[in-house]
A and B are shown apart, each in its own frame.
Chain A
Amino acid sequence: MTFEVFMQQLANGISIGSLYALLAIGYTMVYGILRLINFAHGDIFMMSAYFMVFGMVTFGLPWYVSAAIVIVAAVALGVLIEKAAYKSLRDAPRMSIMISAIGVSFLLENLATYLFTGVPKGFPDIDILTRAISFGNVSLSVATLVTPVVTIILLFVVLFITNKTKIGMAMRAVSKDFETARLMGININRVISTTFVIGSALAAVGAILWGSKYPSVIPLMGVMPGLKCFIAAVLGGIGNTTGAVLGGFILGMSEIMLVSFLPSLTGYRDAIAFIILIIVLIVKPTGLLGEKVTDKV
């Protein structure tokens, strides 16, 4: 492998890793508060991609207007899912809410198939993202370079919100103890909604950047990224935002490096994530940055 090819793959790995990271933050935040694996998260990502197609192709809006609408729509969808499918199960066993999440996921996938058909739709070309830039013999799309930057900025925004704002403090309190948080006068439902707002907005940004790299939109496009990003969140230590980003980067990089160094194993690319999951669960179930959970009796 030449140096140029290596650099190219390195950039790709970082870029795909940061896409995983964007989605993984959503998984980890919702898990942190509700102890719920939000299986519908990947489908919010998928719906966002469709929204972008409609915004730019059907209505002919400029990309930035479209992107803003997509983020708002994804947030609305995320909050709606929470209110409709999770809120009434607040006191139910965790398994019930998990099954509800799987139900919402299937609902969205099949609804999308029904409404938009299973025929792939082309993701609209956002000129400033798909343009190629060359560094010597290495040629990269702007999206590849922009994605990690956007991810890091958004990570800092999320960290700022959770660590420095009043609502963030409430989020951390709610994640530890619902009942005591209520005794402080915290509106639990508002805090949970905020979590879904942040997660869904990041999924929408992820979908826009993803579409610029892989411009084919289908109803099941959220399934595999969704699973992988969940694994990224587990790898980083579920509940930990920085961990989720780290996990995303590691996962993306491992995939790309496997493909470039061992091309004969390209077909196993998707298996990497699951192998990592198994290893993490055996060796360090709390993940890289996860804290030890001790249940007090």
Chain B
Amino acid sequence: MLKINDLQVNYGGISAVKGINIHVPEKSIVTLIGANGAGKSTTLRAIAGLVKAKSGEIAFQGENILGMDTIDIVAKGITLVPEGRRVFANLSVLENLKIGAYLQKDGIDEQILKVYDLFPRLKERSWQLAGTLSGGEQQMLAVGRALMAKPKLIMMDEPSLGLAPLIVNGIFDIIKEINKLGTTILLIEQNANKALKVADYGYVLETGNITMEGKGLDLLQDERVKEAYLGTSKAK
């Protein structure tokens, strides 16, 4: 569904992504793990058209979307749940959902009901301003808002960031749920343990290069991954 070929991105004068290849098959969950500043967010932002790539190719359903405007990329069925949730604090929960469907012509009400099914908490807080929600609820709203665009591919940037462990589990359950309903997911996480458990396939990004890749569960067992990202390597 999404094929990234030799993508290079410069960000703030430095080369943040140095020629990476990523393949996201249809209906899969693919995760990109790595430390802060490895270039994970930059990769997602380049796919969404928020930063201009230097070179390479990003093919979505066979069409090169590199260099396209964000609006057109969203219209093609790619949405990004940005890091730090970024809900519109001055809009109500319902309005946040409606604005997620900004490019949709019809079926908006049905989609709202689907999102409310997925997140009953949002329905309860429908009229509340999004800024008054808790962190976990805001993350639900950010995901729900992205779903409103009926995306084929949904990208999530650190959905567990700053949330309590119990809430984090809930978020990962939702990610699996959304995937089961047929949406392809590209997930960025610092919580490598959780991310690799839900992912079909994973890539490890280090200072702009992919250093390892493999099935989620395989990476989870890999000694180098364990040592660098999971913190569970046995001391000798």
Contacts and interface: CB of A to CB of B under 8 A. Distances in A.
Contacts of B137: none
A180 B149 contact: no
B84 to A, nearest CB: 8
Interface of A: 166, 169-170, 172-173, 175-177, 179-187
Given A169-B99, A179-B50, A185-B70, 16 more contacts: A166-B102, A169-B95, A172-B88, A172-B91, A176-B89, A180-B82, A180-B86, A180-B88, A183-B70, A184-B99, A184-B100, A184-B145, A184-B149, A185-B74, A185-B103, A186-B102
Interface in B67-126: 70-71, 74-75, 79-80, 82, 86, 88-91, 95, 98-100, 102-103
Contacts of A180: 82, 86, 88
Interface string B119-159: 00000000000000000000000000100010000000000
Nearest to B82: A180
Contacts of B48: 183
Nearest to B98: A169
Nearest to B155: A183
Contacts of A182: 50, 70-71
Interface residues of B, number: 22
B38 to A, nearest CB: 21
Interface string B20-42: 00000000000000000000000
Contact of A183 (B50, B89, B91): B50
A186 B50 CA distance: 13
A187 B88 CA distance: 16
Closest 10 CB pairs of A and B: A185-B103, A185-B74, A180-B86, A182-B70, A185-B102, A184-B102, A173-B88, A185-B71, A184-B99, A176-B88
Nearest to B95: A169
Contacts of B100: 184
B102 A170 contact: yes
Contacts of A172: 88, 90-91
B71 A187 contact: yes
